Amino acid sequence: MATSSLYDIPLKKIDGSDATLAEYRGKVVLIVNVASKCGLTPQYEGLEAAYEAQREQGLVVLGFPSNDFAAQEPGDNDSIAAFCRGTFGVQFPMFGKLNVNSAPRHPLYAALIEAAPQAQAGSDSVLKGKLAQHGLLPKNDSDVMWNFEKFLIGRDGSVVGRFAPDITVDSPVLAEAIKSALAR
What is the CATH classification number for the domain harbouring 146?
3.40.30.10
Distance CA(43)–CA(170), nearest Å, equals 10
Active site residues: 38
Domain extent, residue 17, equals 3-183
Do 136 and 100 contact (CB within 8 A), yes or no? no
Q: Checking DSSP bridges between strand 18-19 and strand 59-65, what pairing results, if any?
A: unpaired
pTM of the model: 0.95
DSSP output for 115-168? H--SPBPPTT--HHHHHHHTT-S-SSTTS--STT-EEEE-TTS-EEEEE-TTS-
Do 178 and 152 contact (CB within 8 A), yes or no? yes
Angle at 164 between CA 162 and CA 170, to 5 degrees: 90
Tally the domains of the chain.
1
Render each residue's pLDDT in the chain as its tens digit; 184 residues: 444 589 999 999 999 999 999 999 999 999 999 999 999 999 999 999 999 999 999 999 999 999 999 999 999 999 999 999 999 999 999 999 999 999 999 999 999 999 999 999 876 678 988 999 999 999 898 999 999 999 999 999 999 999 999 999 999 999 999 999 999 9
